Amino acid sequence: MVYGLSTIDYTTMNQKKHILLTGGTGLIGSHLTQQLLEKGYSVSHLSRSQGKDERIKTFLWDVDKNEIDEHCINGVDIVVHLAGAGIADKRWISKRKKEIIDSRVKSIGLIYNLLSGKKHCVTTVISPSAIGYYGNRGNDLLTEESPPAGDFLGNCCKDWEKAADEGLGFGLKVVKFRTGVVLDKGGALAKMAGPVKLYMGSPLGSGKQWIPWIHWQDVVDMYMHAIENEAISGVYNMVAPNPVTNDHLTQALAKQLRKPLWLPNVPAFLLKFLLGEMSAIVLASTKVSAQKIEETGYRFNYPDLISALKNIFE
């Protein structure tokens, strides 16, 4: 199936499929939930608090307390595990690093513990990972076969993916998406757009570092693509097919917002001083290939940066 372009109507075919989402109220989770409902799926959420949408059954869990409602997997066919503490929300002190890893590793472990001790019909687990897996690799074009970095993000992603792969031992199909910088009106793009709107925008560091970006709609559609294609399994890069440098992204953003760029680049040493180890998020150069997911038949809605920015800001 070429998602978004196929003439096949999958609504009836998948009407009885039941999808359980963690992180279902986040940006991607909420859009994915809506798309699933529109296509006739049954959807439930696993959350820390009760939901407000009557169409969605919400089950409660508390990862820190190792608590989960055992009924959450009743009738579920596919688990989409989106929950996890934000990578860039807080400075990376030791406590925060542990929170980031535990929110990913312990959470999927809690689900697998439930599956191992209870009769169920789950066949597939779909989990994000991140392009931080590869680390700072200069101009190398990175594929799913490229080795991981040995820094915090690389180790976090390795642990994250290893935890997801535990499902293979239960006979489950596991799909992992190494996600790039997701472009939407919030998040990373908003942090870049703020200074640009105030005439204070400029590239970061050398500006030559590669940014593996992806439009939020393609993230949602790629999850749908995995849900609706039984042949898809293993790991895929979740990035647009045309990576850009930080300088290119900043220039394109300024042009889209019709604002000039006049300041010099923000020095790398200043970013390292202000952000510490977390500066790797903006200074690492990671040029990532989207070829593998394209070979499954996926076609991007926004393959180029200009069309993506135009959609987001207009």
CATH of the domain at 45: 3.40.50.720
Residue 11 domain-assigned (yes or no): no
Write out pLDDT tens, residues 152-173: 999 999 999 999 999 999 899 9
Above pLDDT 70, what percent of the chain? Answer: 95
pLDDT band for 186, please (50, 70, 90 cuts).
confident
Residue 224 domain-assigned (yes or no): yes
Residue 13 domain-assigned (yes or no): no
Backbone dihedral region for residue 297 (phi beyond 0: left; psi -120 to 50: alpha; all else: beta):
left
pLDDT at 49 over 80: yes
Say whether pTM exceeds 0.85: yes
Residue 36 domain-assigned (yes or no): yes
Domain carrying residue 244 = 18-313
Q: CA 280, CA 152: separation in Å to the nearest integer?
A: 10
Residue 157 domain-assigned (yes or no): yes
Neighbour-count burial for 118-143, b at 16+ CB within 10 Å, e otherwise = eebebebbbbbbbbbbbbbbeeeebe
Residue 6 domain-assigned (yes or no): no
Number of structural domains (the chain) is 1
Residue 3 domain-assigned (yes or no): no
pLDDT band for 66, please (50, 70, 90 cuts).
very high
